[in-house]
Each structure stands twice: as C-alpha cells, then as structure tokens.
C-alpha cells in the first residue's frame, strides 16, 4: 500500500501565493507519475498538473504560467507552487500517484481564494 499526505492548503486573497506538498510513503518501488487534481463544489475533479517518471510536466490550461509542480525524488514528495491565485482556483486539491496498475489518492487539502 501507498499513503499520500497533502499539506499546505489554506485561505488566501486573490493574487497571493500558496504552496502545497504531498508526501508519499509505503510500498513505493516504481512511480509512473504523480499529479495534482482539484475538485470545486458542484464540479467534477480535474487534473491540475502531472509529472511523469520521465520528467515530463503538463498543466491544465487554466493554471499554466501560474502553477509549478516539482518533485523531490529522494523524499518521494511533490510540490505545487501556486502564484497569482484566483477565486476560481478555490477547491479541494488532491495528490495522486500511479504505480504499476494501481492509483492512490491523498485525503485532499482545501484551498480557498477570496476576491
């Protein structure tokens, strides 16, 4: 089993920055990708950013140029630096890890951006 623990959410004003982190632990042997998703009230969960084992990064169009995902491979931890936050970024942010044929999710962390 793999456990994911997110941290760093909170309440900020529009235009401010916030950083999230996700620490993976447990039976980790070959990570295919790690990603951040988010789910706003009444909306479907959506992919925000993904980082593959090959080092490829992809971002949702809505966050390109504002969000940056990075990884500390030694610690199996990923980060999401969010700059110039907008009210529409308000959501619960979830960390996701794919390994072999399994997918794991964290418990989520709330990000609220006030206007």
Distance, in Å, from the CA atom of 26 to the CA atom of 46, rounded to the nearest integer, reads 26
Helices then strands, counting H and E runs in the chain, come out as 0, 11
Contacting residues for 4 by C-beta, under 8 A, at least 6 apart: 22, 23, 24, 95, 96, 97, 104, 105, 106, 107
Q: What is the mean pLDDT of residues 11-28?
A: 96
DSSP, collapsed to helix, strand or coil, labels residue 83 as coil
Question: For 98-115, what is each residue's pLDDT tens digit?
Answer: 999 999 999 999 999 999
Are residues 37 and 47 in contact, defined by beta-carbon separation less than 8 angstroms?
Answer: yes
Q: Which residues on neighbouring strands pair with residue 36, listed in sequence order?
A: 49, 95
Residue whose C-alpha is closest to residue 111's, from 64, 63, 72, 54: 63
pLDDT tens for 38-86 read 999 999 999 999 999 998 999 999 999 999 999 987 779 999 999 999 9
Q: What is the pLDDT of residue 73?
A: 74
């Amino acid at each position: 089993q793999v456990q994911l623990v997110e941290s760093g959410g909170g309440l900020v004003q529009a235009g401010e920055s916030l950083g999230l982190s996700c620490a993976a632990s447990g039976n980790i042997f070959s990570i295919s990708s790690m990603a951040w998703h988010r789910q706003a009230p009444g909306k479907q969960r959506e992919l925000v950013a993904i980082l593959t084992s090959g080092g490829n990064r992809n971002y949702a169009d809505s966050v390109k140029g504002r969000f940056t995902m990075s990884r500390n491979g030694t610690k199996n931890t990923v980060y999401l630096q969010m700059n110039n936050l907008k009210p529409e970024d308000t959501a619960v942010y979830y960390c996701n890890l794919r390994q072999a044929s399994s997918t794991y999710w964290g418990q989520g962390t709330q990000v609220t951006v006030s206007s």
